[in-house]
Amino acid sequence: GKGPGVPKYNKTAMKWNRLAAEQGNARNHYRLGDRYAYGDGVTSDQVIAKNWYRRARNQSDDDADIDHDILETEKFTIGLDCFQDGKFEIAFGEWEILARHGFSFNNGRSQFRLGEMYKNGQGVEEDLVASFMWYDIAASQGVEEAEDNRDMLARRMTPSQLQTARKRAREFLPE
């Protein structure tokens, strides 16, 4: 993102973008999504970006659809690259954003990856309950591998760990 020296015209452009966006203009929803996605005139914030893209998408803005999917794919790929380079904390951070905020494109895959990382203690403390929870959520998104891993993990867990993990997965899913 841009540091403290954000040009003044950006702040003015942001103001007009936001005003237009609040009037329900899909094109401006899309532009605002871009600004938040790339930290242009504002602090980069993928969650806010996603919300503006969604608003544009709800008005069937094809560009917003494409950009939203590209953003998700990029985040997932950054996660993969970092994971392969042994930068587990960064990979975990990228995938956690996708997994927690219901990004559609790579959602189940990101949740599966978090299950793996919790199981193996990569980039995060080993946590069988969290691992089971993410596998369970990924399985509900149709990731077959997650189902197998979840079932194998269950054999290593106590009944109370299993109960907690299932409860957390249920609480997460309705979102």
pLDDT in tens, 11-25: 666 666 666 666 666
Say if residue 6's pLDDT is above 60: no
Say if residue 3's pLDDT is above 60: no
Say if residue 175's pLDDT is above 70: no
Residues 80-132: tens digit of each pLDDT: 998 999 999 988 988 888 887 765 556 688 999 999 999 999 999 999 999 99
> 94 near 103, Cβ under 8 Å?
no
Give 164's pLDDT tier (boundaries 50, 70, 90): very high
Give 105 or 27, the one with higher predicted confidence: 27
Mean pLDDT of the chain: 81
> 137 near 98, Cβ under 8 Å?
no
Any idea which of 6-10, 26-30, 86-90, 135-139 has the lowest mean pLDDT? Answer: 6-10
Q: What pLDDT is attached to residue 21?
A: 61
Give 162's pLDDT tier (boundaries 50, 70, 90): very high
What does the DSSP assignment read for 106-130? THHHHHHHHHHHHHHTSSS---HHH
* Half-sphere exposure of residue 117: CA atoms within 13 angstroms, side-chain side: 28
Q: At 172, list the tokens.
A: 């997460």
* Half-sphere exposure of residue 45: CA atoms within 13 angstroms, side-chain side: 8
> 101 near 94, Cβ under 8 Å?
no
Task: Give the C-alpha separation, 74 to 97, whole Å.
Answer: 12
Say if residue 46's pLDDT is above 50: yes
